[in-house]
Amino acid sequence: MEMTMRLPANYNVMSADEMTYTCGGDATSAASVLKTVFDVVATGVVILNWADLLIEARSWLTANKTGDIVEDAQKGVEAWVEYTTSSIWNGVRSISATLISFMGNIPLASSGAVIPYGPVVTALALLTA
């Protein structure tokens, strides 16, 4: 078996320094580091917001639980709507936390699968209230 590599006629070998211009720069550039820091901080803020509102929802459910799951769900939705529509800030907080409750997951890079922490933790928190 012959090991040959066929390249296009206009192929030019490039040094590592030249690759930074063709590949978008060094991976440790200041912009890349700032974006990574911003992403980590933003993710932390969103998760802390979700946890804070989940704790409040759990406290509300403990205080207002009637034992009838339909009535409890109806009162919970009414309380959520009242809180969400009371101000723009509450709306942003509430909607972002609600999205995480239903769609929050941790991707597992190696397999492409995800761990659905949002639905699992939300369900456990509310079922044990």
Per-residue pLDDT in tens (0 to 9) along the chain, 129 residues: 677 877 777 777 777 777 666 655 555 677 778 888 888 888 788 888 888 888 898 899 889 998 898 998 899 889 989 988 999 998 888 888 888 777 776 666 666 676 677 777 778 888 887
Distance CA 17, CA 74 (A): 63
Backbone angles phi, psi at 38, to 5 degrees: -60, -45
Residue 46 CB burial class (10 angstroms; 0-12, 13-18, ≥19): middle
From residue 21, how far is each of 15, 17, 31, 97 by CA, in Å? 11, 8, 15, 41
Tell me the whole-structure pTM to 2 decimals: 0.59
Under 8 Å between Cβ of 126 and 58: yes
